[in-house]
Amino acid sequence: MNFNSVLRSIYYDSVISKDRNDYNLVFIFYSMKYSILLIVLVIALFMLPMVSSAASGTSEITLSTTSISIPRGGSSTVTYNVKLASGNTWGTSISASAPSGISVTFSNPTGDPPFSGTATVTVAKTVSPGTYTIEISATGDDPSSSPATLSVTVMNTTVTTAPPPAPVVHVNYIPFIVGGIAIALFVVFLIIFSLFLPAYSKPIRYVTYTVTLILSMYLITYDHVLLKYAYSHWLGLIVYLLLSTIFFGLTFSSSQALKRSSLYLLTVGNILLGLLMIVDTVFGLPYSSLHNVTTNVGWDYLFGYGTTSISTVGISLAFTLLFIFVGIYAGVSLREARVLKG
């Protein structure tokens, strides 16, 4: 055997020996792997009855009473208690099986035994009188072995709701008192100033024009209720203000006929405004969205002086003064026109 043959023999022996060692390692690894799986399987099979036993449980439901009487359309309550009868607690839910027309609600429908709550039984008015049975059961992980039975006797009487007491109505007399005085003064001043005080008719007319001008401008500017809910009335004030100013200016004309006609028109315009205010007061602001909002909406709005929900002191005072001064304005204008005619 030469030297090369010896080397070749040594090489093959080492390779074969190495492969055998690797094979042995692989065999040992797989043997351990399947051994571990086998051990886990045995442990799982051993623990399964214990887990099943721990997960299963039964509960028991008891009621504070087993029978109740309820009139048609009425309801009643029953207290229930849920306790664990066997096994371990894993949670349960309460449900009821009731005839048609009878409903049951639970204050505490779920929980881990032991727990309690209140069951409200409601009977519809359409349910016929008689005795009915309701079964209350526990379901879920801890079901009840048998339901709790509640006997419900439906009585022939029905539950009626008593009518609410009549509201106490407090009559507010302020709008009627103030409004009545304003209407009376309008009529009285119209008559007095149209018949008397001819020497003072011109200066009085200047004053009344100025006052009605200021009051009209105040209402047009600050009476937002009038603008929003009685727009036609708001426009009417603007028309009155413009015409009053025009005819007042024409009274300074050198033409006696034009001056007298302007005074008559001022008389008619102021009387018309006063009459329209009376109509608004008595008939509740017709042709506005405030009409019939309340029984006395006209009085409440024009003369409420803040004692009603739709009035303010400033607006009511402006309307009251305007009412009085248009009567004076109409009276002195008529008196002055009659003097010019004479």
- Quote the CA–CA distance of 60 and 66 in Å, as a whole number: 15
Per-residue pLDDT at 26: 45
Q: What is the pLDDT of residues 13-72, one digit of tens each?
A: 444 444 444 444 444 444 555 556 656 565 555 544 444 444 456 788 888 988 999 998
More confident residue, 159 or 247: 247
Residues 332, 208: contact at Cβ < 8 Å?
Answer: yes
pTM: 0.51
Separation between Cα atoms, residue 187 and residue 205, nearest integer Å? 17
Q: What is the dihedral of CA 308, 314, 316, 322, to 10 degrees?
A: -170
Report which of 277, 317, 301 is spatially closest to residue 183, judged by C-alpha positions. 277
Residue with more model confidence, 301 or 30: 301
Domain 58-158: which CATH number of 3.40.50.720, 3.30.830.10, 2.60.40.10, 3.40.50.10860: 2.60.40.10
Instruction: Check residue 83 and give its pLDDT.
Output: 84
At residue 88, the pLDDT reads 67
Residue 290 phi, psi (nearest 5): -85, -10
Quick one: tokens of 307? 């004692």
Strand segments, DSSP code E, in 112-202 are 115-123, 130-140, 148-158
Instruction: Please give the residue that has the higher pLDDT: either 250 or 16.
Output: 250
The separation between CA 106 and the C-alpha centre of its own chain, rounded to angstroms, equals 29
Q: How many CB atoms lie within 10 A of CB 11?
A: 10
- Asked if the model's pLDDT at residue 320 lies above 70, the reply is yes
Burial class (CB in 10 A: 0-12, 13-18, 19+), 167: exposed
Domain borders along the chain are 58-158, 174-341
